[in-house]
Structure 1
């Protein structure tokens, strides 16, 4: 593996994940991760860190279900691949849930091979539960089965950790994210400051931290669409002068001030 893997090589590693999921190949899927890799699914829930924890995650959430990935776009930015997609999960009772997502894969070279260091799945747990409860008897039966599966594979602490994904900035955070993106897209630094923390970290692609003025210059003219609030992070599908991207906005632990904003765009 070259010291600087190509976008195609990074995408090939990421594409192996849904392929293994579709084949229900646990060994192949878990083997994509570094030994100290982590899965945070959804973002805001307790991460699963290390091989044993990732194996239990597979047993709980992947093994019992049929999962299909409908990918709209991939953004390769440095050693990160951000996927813009919807996942259709068919549970054991036959109910199918359609969940909009942004999947962030952070990759690294480990012993000459590309491995996933961190997988962060941005999706809204409350919305998924709403779909489940609104799916009639099949949905209720699937929910009734999921509880014992969670506790059996993850323990009480793991089940509580998963449900902590319900906490976060929610709809108010998405509104704040929209105000920031509207402001910087219009070149309005003052409007942006109204929703930013006093000393925010602002990044474009792999260029590192920059001033609000420089960030606004890079982002000007941006258009945004699909918005997901998971934990204290909001991700947004965006169109920039450099093509499709994904904005990742991290909020303070309290309140609705945005502490960091990064626009992931394809590395040139």
Structure 2
């Protein structure tokens, strides 16, 4: 139809593939459901959390494929008591969504806050192909306090 707006001017925020994939990812994390979290990813997906070198990824190349993603879960999410996602802003572009806000992590009787930008990219099937988290390790460590 000639008077229909292009998709970039008429974003379906509730049903956007990256929004749905990101929501499934966060729900699986909060439910502590590793299998559901892994099933949400495409076979060649990459997780960079945080982006660049860190204690979770010394080379800073991300975690790729089923084995890499399972290992990421085990050394990060699996070691926590609880993770909450507190996002203030949602920005949708193409097959991606970026959230600005923080992730609050409880681990070992302590809590920390990772302030940053968190992105999810979906493929045409609605599977996650990339999860990238832009947060600074030193700033997060500075928020560490007893829960």
Output the TM-score relative to the length of structure 2.
0.79
* Whole-angstrom CA distance in 1 between matches of 2:20 and 2:96: 13
Listed one character per residue, the Cα deviations across residues 173-194 of structure 1 (whole Å, up to 9, x for unaligned) are xxxxxxxxxxxxxxxxxxxxxx
Greater C-alpha radius of gyration: 1
Matched, 1:38 2:50: no
Q: Residue 14 of structure 1: CA displacement? A: 1.3
Alpha-carbon distance, 1:106 to partner: 1.6
| Mapped partners of 1:128, 1:29: distance in 2 | 24
Matched, 1:68 2:84: yes
Question: What is the CA–CA distance in structure 1 between the aligned matches of 2:75 and 2:134, rounded to whole Å?
Answer: 18
SS at match of 1:19: helix
Query: Could you give the per-residue CA deviations for residues 146-182 of structure 1, whole angstroms, max 9, x where no partner exists?
Result: xxxxxxxxxxxxxxxxxxxxxxxxxxxxxxxxxxxxx
Q: Tell me the SS of whatever aligns to 1:44.
A: coil
1:86 Cα deviation from its structure 2 partner: 0.9
Deviation string 1:87-129 (CA, Å, 9 cap, x unpaired) is: 11000x21011111211112112xxx31111111000011122
The SS at the match of 1:37 is strand
TM-score normalised over the length of structure 1: 0.45
Residue pair 2:120, 2:132 contacting (<8 A) in 1 also: yes
Spell out the pairing of 1:119-130 with structure 2 (5 A cutoff): 119-130=131-142
Deviations 1:238-259 (A, max 9, x none): xxxxxxxxxxxxxxxxxxxxxx
Equivalent residue for 2:120, pick from 105, 119, 124: 105
Q: What value does the CA root-mean-square deviation take over the aligned residues?
A: 2.0
| SS of aligned partner of 1:127 | helix
- Give, in whole Å, the separation in 1 of the partners of 2:74 and 2:52: 20
Gaps of 5+ in 2: 1-6, 54-59
State the shift of 1:6 in Å: 4.8
CA distance in 2, matches of 1:33, 1:6: 22
**1:58 paired to 2:66:** no
Q: Please give the secondary structure, in 2, of the residue aligned with 1:114.
A: coil
1:126-153 deviation per Cα after TM superposition (whole angstroms, max 9, x unaligned): 1122333xx3xx69xxxxxxxxxxxxxx
CA distance in 2, matches of 1:6, 1:37: 24
- Report the number of matched residues: 128
